[in-house]
Amino acid sequence: MVITRMEIQGFKCWRRSMFDFKPGLNVVRGPNESGKSTLRAALMAVLFGNPTSSSETIQDWTSWGKSERCELKLEYTDHAGRVCRLRKDFAARKIFLLENEETFRTFKTIQTKIAEELGISTEDFYSLCSSLDVRSLSDLGTVASRKQIGKILSSLMTGAVSGQDVLQVLKRLEDALRELGKGQRSPSKVPGPIKATQDRLTQLSAERAETRRTLALRKERLHELAELNRVLEKEVSHLADLDHLIEVNLKLAEADRNKVLMIEQDTRFEQTVELRKRIETELEELNQKLKNEAASGFSMEEISELQDITGKQRRLDERLPTEPSRDTTSKVLLIFGMSVFLIGLGLWPFKTLMGISVVLSSFAPLLVGWQQKKTSNRRKKDFECQLNLWHREKEELEKRLTVRAKVRSPEEVFNSWPQSQKLSARRDALQSRIRELEPVDQEKWKVVRRELRLVEDILNDPKMAGLRLPAPKLAGFQREQKDLATRLSGWQQQAGRLQAILEHEQSGSDKLSGLEEEAAEFTQRLAYLRKREGICRLTFELLDRARKDTLNPARKVLEEQAGKLLHSFSCGRYGKIAVDDEDLSSKILITETGKWENPTVLSQGTFDQFYLGLRLALSEVLSGGKNPPLLLDEPLTALDPARQAATLECLLRFARKRQIIFFTCRPEYDRVADQIIELSGGVIDA
């Protein structure tokens, strides 16, 4: 890091100031109380101060007479040559770092970046080795920080080829191992890959166990269902046997009842048929008798009518028309007249007159004869007409009689009428009886007969008969059948429920397969990670061994470098330093005596040189060669001119590779300075 500019606002005596620095030796010169130490403190504050903190130290930085907290800005060039701008606004409690167009705003990130740049992580360490004043040269800080540095020194190795690279690599490997194993020993919010994989495997194992349980349960259910189905099958068969037995017995009982009914019906049919046959026979006989009777078939009205007709016939016979007497008179007259006429005609040619008289005289007998004849004819016609009417009536009556008397003579009819009537009455009675008789439906009778036969077949079936049970036993079986049916219904419902569960629930076999596949994948991954962890560890161990084999311990480097510096500072009088890395207690080899002595035996000037060299060496070792800027506040005041020149010479060599900000009140350093910043006394408001 090379500081190029520092801007201060409201820091102790500095109200608003800006200082430009250059690489190499920057001499900040001013009289006492001109603000040199304040500037050094401001530089420390901008590098390590936390603007968000409310500590009293920050309050102490407040500008005299002001209550507002300070604002500090630092511009520097990093190792890569990039310009970085750091701003710490203690008033607004804000922090800001612009690095290569990238902005950072969190204290932790920014301090990490500054620590990386300086190579020194804490203010204590920086104060110990890079920010020195003559008063604190021999003060190597607190016991705790000394021990901490001791630990660092004992763990640090440096000085060989790739020395720094290997440290970084080891750090990265260590980080990687830490990251890999994170959460294994103690709980972590974000566990490392191994722990995460283990956790997932544990989770998978639990899920698998659960799925296996589900599967086992399903298997049990399947088994239960199969068992239930087996029982059901057996009991259904038993129930079917019972049903059959009971059905047969019920059928037999019904057949018994039906047989009685059928026999009753059959007997009834038979009796009716016999009765009917008897009546019919009698009727036939009666009919036969009646047929022989002349009045058979005659009703009372017909008999009356017959009697009426015979009466009428008798009366008609009595009324037979008499034939008129023969008309001989007209015949005589006519014959006479004709004879006269013919005589007249015969006479006509001879005796006309006579003829005519004769003819004319013939007309009278002819006319009378003709009249007589006409009357006679009319009488005859009337008689014939009456006779015809009589005959017709007679014929009519005869016809009616014939019809009514049905060929029989009315006498016969009238004679047989009483017997016939008696027979008819009997017949009517029989007919009425036969009508009253229920007609025999032959089809129905056939059905009855057939059913009777069927019933008899059933009853006579040896198979069925063999199953006939006495009533109490049948009742027992019926109870058993009822109980079994109830039980079966329960089992069937249970089987149905099981079936429904089995159909609806996921079998879990695919899920188990998926889980096992995932578990295999994670087991593989865990093995891979463990292997990688092993390889990381192995790489770390081998690299560390290689590093130890090739690199020197930092303590040795520190002793060497501090020794070299002391040798230069003391103009070759002292050159060997021994440092204890437990508490940083140091010893110096007194060349004259050849003994290792505590530096307190040295003069104040040599003592200061001893610790300056030790601190500069520490700075180099602790910063890992990052060469942070050195802030030196009058470190050479106790030296004689020769040692002062030698030390200055040494510092100038230092300044070639690292920036030195040298605070002094003396002007003699101006000549070697790369940049001189002159401070005037009092409160500065630049």
Partner 1 sequence: MRLPLKILHTADLHLGAKFVGLGSRGADQRRRLREVLGDIVKVAGKERVNLILFSGDTFDSNTPSPESVSAFKHALVRLDEMRIPVIMIAGTHDHLAENAILSRLETETSIVFLKPEQSLWENAELNVLIQGVSLINSHQPERPLAAWRRTDSPFWQIGMAHASLEIEKKAEREACFSPREIKAAGLDYIALGHWHNQRDCSEGGVACWYSGSPEMIAMDESGSGSVLVVYLEYSKPPVITAHRVGKRSLLRITAEACDTEKTLAMVRSQADPEAVLELTLSGLISPEIKPDLEEIKRALKDHFFYIRLRDDSSITLSPEELGKYPGNTVIGRFIRLVQEEMSGSDPGRREELEQALQMGCAMLSGREVIPWS
Provide, rounded to whole angstroms, the least separation between the CB of residue 550 and partner 1. Answer: 5
The helix/strand count (H/E) of the chain reads as: 18, 16
Provide, rounded to whole angstroms, the least separation between the CB of residue 520 and partner 1. Answer: 4
Nearer CB in complex with partner 1: 371/524? 524
For residue 52, which phi and psi values (nearest 5 degrees)? -85, -10
Nearer CB in complex with partner 1: 129/194? 194
Name every residue whose Cβ is closer than 8 Å to that of residue 380 and which is 6 or more positions away in sequence: 324, 327
As a whole number of angstroms, the distance between CA 342 and CA 670 comes to: 229
If binding is defined by CB under 8 A, does position 98 make contact with partner 1? no
Provide, rounded to whole angstroms, the least separation between the CB of residue 188 and partner 1. Answer: 16
If binding is defined by CB under 8 A, does position 275 make contact with partner 1? no
> What is the torsional sign of CA 592, 597, 602, 607?
positive
Provide, rounded to whole angstroms, the least separation between the CB of residue 509 and partner 1. Answer: 5
Instruction: Name the one range near partner 1 by CB under 8 A: 308-316, 529-537, 581-589, 676-684.
Output: 529-537
* Of the candidate residues 302, 461, 521, 674, the single one contacting partner 1 (CB under 8 A): 521
Restricting to residues 161-180, name those near partner 1 by CB under 8 A.
161-163, 165-166, 169, 172-173, 176-177, 180
If binding is defined by CB under 8 A, does position 529 make contact with partner 1? yes
If binding is defined by CB under 8 A, does position 399 make contact with partner 1? no
If binding is defined by CB under 8 A, does position 307 make contact with partner 1? no
Nearer CB in complex with partner 1: 312/556? 556
If binding is defined by CB under 8 A, does position 286 make contact with partner 1? no
CB atoms near residue 168 (< 10 Å): 11
If binding is defined by CB under 8 A, does position 520 make contact with partner 1? yes
Provide, rounded to whole angstroms, the least separation between the CB of residue 618 and partner 1. Answer: 24
Q: Which long-range contacts (CB under 8 A, 24 or more apart) does 401-407 make?
A: 401/306, 401/309, 401/310, 401/313, 404/298, 404/302, 404/305, 404/306, 404/309, 405/294, 405/306, 406/297, 406/298
Both tokens of 610, joined, read 């001893």
Q: Which long-range contacts (CB under 8 A, 24 or more apart) does 172-179 make?
A: 173/536, 173/539, 173/540, 173/543, 174/540, 176/536, 177/533, 177/536, 177/537, 177/540
If binding is defined by CB under 8 A, does position 311 make contact with partner 1? no
User: Which residues are 158's β-sheet partners?
Assistant: 552
Nearer CB in complex with partner 1: 36/208? 208
Site size toward partner 1 (CB under 8 A) is 52
For residue 71, which phi and psi values (nearest 5 degrees)? -130, 130
Q: Which helix (H) or strand (E) holds 516?
A: helix 509-550
* Residue 663 near residue 633 (C-beta atoms within 8 A): yes
Provide, rounded to whole angstroms, the least separation between the CB of residue 619 and partner 1. Answer: 24
Instruction: Name the one range near partner 1 by CB under 8 A: 324-332, 536-544, 556-564, 574-582.
Output: 536-544
As a whole number of angstroms, the distance between CA 433 and CA 435 comes to: 5
Provide, rounded to whole angstroms, the least separation between the CB of residue 181 and partner 1. Answer: 11
* Of the candidate residues 183, 297, 514, 624, the single one contacting partner 1 (CB under 8 A): 514
Site string for partner 1, 204-223 (x = CB under 8 A): -----------x--xx--xx
* Residue 91 near residue 10 (C-beta atoms within 8 A): yes
DSSP-assigned states of every residue in 555-607: HHHHHHHHHHHHHHHTTTS---EEE-TTT--EEEEETTTTEEE-GGGS-HHHH
**Residue found by looking up tokens 């040189």 in the block:** 609
Nearer CB in complex with partner 1: 393/518? 518
Instruction: Name the one range near partner 1 by CB under 8 A: 107-115, 147-155, 414-422, 508-516.
Output: 508-516
Instruction: Name the one range near partner 1 by CB under 8 A: 8-16, 465-473, 546-554, 612-620.
Output: 546-554
**Residue found by looking up tokens 């990238």 in the block:** 102
Q: Which helix (H) or strand (E) holds 29?
A: strand 25-29
If binding is defined by CB under 8 A, does position 196 make contact with partner 1? no
For residue 267, which phi and psi values (nearest 5 degrees)? -60, -45
* Of the candidate residues 547, 555, 567, 658, the single one contacting partner 1 (CB under 8 A): 547
Nearer CB in complex with partner 1: 143/222? 222
* Residue 591 near residue 574 (C-beta atoms within 8 A): yes
As a whole number of angstroms, the distance between CA 128 and CA 119 comes to: 13
Provide, rounded to whole angstroms, the least separation between the CB of residue 194 and partner 1. Answer: 8
* Of the candidate residues 143, 206, 226, 447, the single one contacting partner 1 (CB under 8 A): 226
If binding is defined by CB under 8 A, does position 542 make contact with partner 1? yes
Q: Which long-range contacts (CB under 8 A, 24 or more apart) does 109-118 make?
A: 110/86, 111/48, 114/47, 114/48, 114/86, 117/1, 117/76, 117/78, 117/79, 117/626, 117/628, 118/1, 118/47, 118/623, 118/626, 118/628
* Of the candidate residues 549, 592, 593, 671, the single one contacting partner 1 (CB under 8 A): 549
If binding is defined by CB under 8 A, does position 507 make contact with partner 1? yes
Calculate ∠ Cα 608-609-610, nearest 5°.
90
If binding is defined by CB under 8 A, does position 517 make contact with partner 1? yes
In the sheet that holds 102-104, the strands lie side by side as 14-20, 2-11, 71-77, 83-89, 94-99, 102-104
Nearer CB in complex with partner 1: 522/662? 522
If binding is defined by CB under 8 A, does position 498 make contact with partner 1? no
Instruction: Name the one range near partner 1 by CB under 8 A: 339-347, 475-483, 516-524, 621-629.
Output: 516-524
In the sheet that holds 595-597, the strands lie side by side as 577-579, 586-590, 595-597
* Of the candidate residues 253, 543, 590, 645, the single one contacting partner 1 (CB under 8 A): 543
Provide, rounded to whole angstroms, the least separation between the CB of residue 484 and partner 1. Answer: 24
Go through the chain and tell me how many residues it has. 686
Restricting to residues 126-165, name those near partner 1 by CB under 8 A.
160-163, 165
Provide, rounded to whole angstroms, the least separation between the CB of residue 623 and partner 1. Answer: 20
Binding site residues, partner 1, CB under 8 A: 160-163, 165-166, 169, 172-173, 176-177, 180, 193, 215, 218-219, 222-223, 226, 506-510, 512-514, 516-521, 524, 528-529, 531-536, 538-539, 542-543, 545-547, 549-551
